[in-house]
Structure 1
Amino acid sequence: MKYRCLHPPCCAAVRAVMLLMVMSVARVGARGAVADAGDSIAVPAVAPATAEAPSPTSDFKVDSLPLFNRLPPKVKNYLNGFMAGSVDRTREKRVDLSFGISPSYTREASFGIGALCTGLYRVDRTDSVGIPSDLFACLNASLNGFFVFTFKGNNIFPGNRLRLGYKFEAYRKRLDFWGINSEETAVNPKSKYDRRQIDLRTELVYKLTHHLHAGFHTNFDYTDARRMSNPEYLLGGRRQYYVTGLGASLSIDSRNSILQPTRGVHLSYTYMFYPRQLGSAPASFQSHLIIGNAYLGLWRGATLAFDLYAKFNSSHTPWSMREMIASDGIRMRGYYMGSYIDNSQMSLQAELRQHIWWRIGMTAWLGQAAVFSSFRNLSKKEIRPEWLPNGGIGLRFEFKHGVNARIDYGIGRHTAGFVFAVGEAF
């Protein structure tokens, strides 16, 4: 559907305002919308805030506004391309890149500034059916000493049967800390520590049949806790760990697109084993991850998305690899990272995504999650884990083909907060 502007001067002004808003608030970096092992380790690019409507285009030029008349030609060309709409140019360019610099904000990091680069490309540019490969890089730093660098993406090989996913992340965060299990975080006073972490994940996924996929996974993680106000909160554990894991996955994927799912399902199971010989953990440990996503097209421009996440870690898992509520910017948005932590986690959420106008959309979601020490605790009434509520609303702006900037405001139990990120939550 093409959107016809009935009042060109008014719409041009509104679009210029939206341009300035997105360039000033789009978060570049942190952990927003980072995929988990077993999920697609991809740039979290999603549908352009609309379930079925094609990407809007426009003949609006920034030259028509006096505010932009004296800008350098290269800057005006960039802004004209930005305002012209979202178009897949991967068959025209070797790599379709976009760059940005903007302020950022999270509850953990406070205010900061960052730079990002997103790209789409095709290994086989003559392929008229397959989806493009993607990459994403960002660098972010904040006033309280927060620093993060992320590089991730998917490489789709010719034939669309083999995919290499990867994610590298290095960060330093000054975080509040309450302990390493549910019992401790419920009673311990707040303390602080510096968390320094390097994490590398890869997955090689092969399409067995039309919807069935098998994958091989690797994970290396190094975590160092420094300047701890209360080191006894680690319950005798070390402050520093490095671990290496190998695993396999099996998934059923009928989504109409990895980057822009508006219908279909994605069910995956991933098993990871971390041998003691390949790290500094005192014993070998393992994890089981189950992820389920479903996408339903409703009325025009609307998608109802569901997300199930369940990860169960063995009892010897070091504190650095345990599950934390709100650690990824995907689930339990609005909670503080690490305010709830334990061996395992289960979460559910449903989100309605609605295209509003032009390249603007809105979302609303409800969800809940719980962390607990073991799967057996779920059936024991006296130690049954506490389920935490979550809900919120969000604003979307599509600034590149299939890539949304999002501003989410999440509310939880005695907490609330904003999440600024690139890409949908799931």
Structure 2
Amino acid sequence: MARRLAVLCLAWVSLALPCLAQERSFISGDDTLHYVYTPLPVDSTAVAGDARQRRDPFFRRLVKYFEGSNVDRTFEKKIDFTFAGGPSYSKTTSLGIGLLAAGLYRLDRTDSVTAPSDVSLFANISISGVYAVGVTGNTIFSQDRRRLNYTVMFSSTPRDMWGVGYNAGRYNKPVSYTEKHYLVEANYLYRILPKTYIGTVLSFEHTAGKKFSDEKEFSYLTYLHGEKTHYTATGLGVTVEYDSRDFIPNPFRGIYLSFQERIFPKGLGNCDKTLWRTIFKANAYQRVWKDCILAADLYAVFNSEGTPWPMLARLGDNQRMRGYYQGRYADNSMITMQIELRQRVWRRIGCTVWGGAGNVFSSLDRFDWSHTLPNYGLGLRWELKKRVNVRLDYGFGKDTSSFLLSVNEAF
């Protein structure tokens, strides 16, 4: 009786599911095996989900990529990188396309007190013929006992030259040329007191001027005063710092003081004499109200007399005196100052306004207050990584203005 019921049930199932069940035969020699199988049902929601995922437009995938990029993942990843790219512009490099990558990491992921280390990679190419590539970063070792700050870059840039000094930059006609510049610089610091560091700096730089224009009424040799068109220099120096900033790329509070003395021996380059350079920085950061930071910066550089033209202090870059053509005003020494108000507006978006001034001069006894140049501007901020901003600035100066696109705060 049980056997008959089993046969009847099997027959009923075979009749009830004719569209799902399929019959197969396997033949081996004189033996034939007949079997019936029923395919598993297809998960229609999963298929639809996969199809929708495949149909996501590029913009939506881009949004998903950046949605969590500003979350601190340095405790779970060896290095947390985010890549970004788009149009770029500055008065020196003109319109171009830039690619940048910002990364945060911790050498000791069990240390939650020490700020994370950072690294930034960049590449740029523009319609004026500029191409540049480089990497810069700050490595903070366990418990912030040691630090390594570094920059490696190469650039080829069509530039203009006005000569040396304020009057040259103000009144001379520019000479165009192409500048090829190589720079390798590393600063190793060791903590000797709370927030206080001492260390050594090593640098190598090579600059070559090529394809100088030569107008009928004057020659670029007039601006070079008989100097060579290319120079190589190796620098050795000592750095002393006090740093209470909470995060180097974008401080919310703290003070930063730095004094650096560097020497460029005659035998480690093609300069005609041994040169020296002194650099002083003083920065302060203070919260003034919710999500608003007041930042101040004082910067001074002094070069020895006889410093060749590629190593002079050049006013105007993406950090100080923003909006000026870098190098229009150049001399042995330079002092700049600026104050900036940084306000977070909504979620990852912020804005800034700043004002400042700068002066280039050959020596302190020839400093002229009337040659002081004004600087002011405003900018937008977007948080690419945790407290690492992409910034778009528009700077104004004396008879000049310019857009700048960069990563990390100016100071």
Shorter-chain TM-score above 0.5: yes
> What amino acid sits opposite 1:213 in the alignment?
Y
CA distance in 1, matches of 2:117, 2:69: 20
Contact 1:377/1:385 (8 A) holds in 2: no
Cα 1:351–1:391 change in 2 (3 A) is: same
* 2:125 is the alignment partner of 1:141: yes
Cα 1:191–1:425 change in 2 (3 A) is: same
CA distance in 2, matches of 1:183, 1:358: 46
Correspondence for 1:117 among 97, 101, 113? 101
CA distance in 2, matches of 1:401, 1:266: 21
Correspondence for 1:227 among 211, 214, 220? 211
Give the deviation of 1:72 after TM superposition.
6.9
Structure with greater proportional strand content: 2
> What amino acid sits opposite 1:289 in the alignment?
I
SS at match of 1:277: helix
The match for 2:48 is: none
> What amino acid sits opposite 2:309 in the alignment?
W
The match for 1:152 is: 136
CA distance in 2, matches of 1:68, 1:235: 65
The match for 2:405 is: 420
* 2:393 is the alignment partner of 1:408: yes
Structure 1: where are the runs of 5+ without partners?
1-66
The match for 2:256 is: 266
> What amino acid sits opposite 2:390 in the alignment?
A
> What amino acid sits opposite 1:109 in the alignment?
T
SS at match of 2:402: strand
Deviations 1:326-365 (A, max 9, x none): 1x31111111111101000001100001111111111100
Residues 250-399 of structure 1 mapped to structure 2, 5 A cutoff: 250-326=240-316, 328-378=317-367, 386-399=371-384
Question: Normalising by the residue count of structure 1, what TM-score does the alignment of the two structures yield?
Answer: 0.80
* 2:76 is the alignment partner of 1:92: yes
Cα 1:275–1:101 change in 2 (3 A) is: same
Contact 1:293/1:308 (8 A) holds in 2: yes
SS at match of 1:320: helix
Contact 1:370/1:385 (8 A) holds in 2: no
**Structure 1 runs of 4+ with >6 Å offset:** none
The match for 2:147 is: 163
SS at match of 1:348: strand
CA distance in 1, matches of 2:254, 2:277: 27
Correspondence for 1:71 among 38, 43, 56? 56
Contact 2:320/2:336 (8 A) holds in 1: yes
Contact 2:249/2:409 (8 A) holds in 1: no
Give the deviation of 1:81 after TM superposition.
4.1
Contact 2:115/2:246 (8 A) holds in 1: no
SS at match of 1:298: strand
Q: What is the Cα-based RMSD across aligned positions, in Å?
A: 2.0
Contact 1:163/1:205 (8 A) holds in 2: yes
Deviations 1:107-127 (A, max 9, x none): 122211122222111111222
Give the deviation of 1:257 after TM superposition.
2.2
Deviations 1:292-313 (A, max 9, x none): 0001110101110000001111
> What amino acid sits opposite 1:260 in the alignment?
N
* 2:222 is the alignment partner of 1:211: no
CA distance in 2, matches of 1:69, 1:304: 46
> What amino acid sits opposite 1:227 in the alignment?
K
CA distance in 1, matches of 2:176, 2:70: 43
Contact 2:250/2:408 (8 A) holds in 1: no
Deviates more, 1:368-377 or 1:156-165: 156-165
CA distance in 1, matches of 2:360, 2:63: 45
Give the deviation of 1:187 after TM superposition.
3.2
CA distance in 2, matches of 1:360, 1:258: 20
> What amino acid sits opposite 1:71 in the alignment?
D
Contact 2:298/2:337 (8 A) holds in 1: yes
Contact 2:250/2:409 (8 A) holds in 1: no
> What amino acid sits opposite 2:299 in the alignment?
Y
Percent identical residues:
40
CA distance in 2, matches of 1:374, 1:189: 24
Deviations 1:105-159 (A, max 9, x none): 1112221112222211111122221111211111111111001111111222223
Give the deviation of 1:316 after TM superposition.
2.0
SS at match of 1:219: strand
Deviates more, 1:387-396 or 1:205-214: 205-214
Question: Normalising by the residue count of structure 2, what TM-score does the alignment of the two structures yield?
Answer: 0.83
Cα 1:193–1:68 change in 2 (3 A) is: farther
CA distance in 1, matches of 2:328, 2:250: 32
Number of corresponding residues: 355
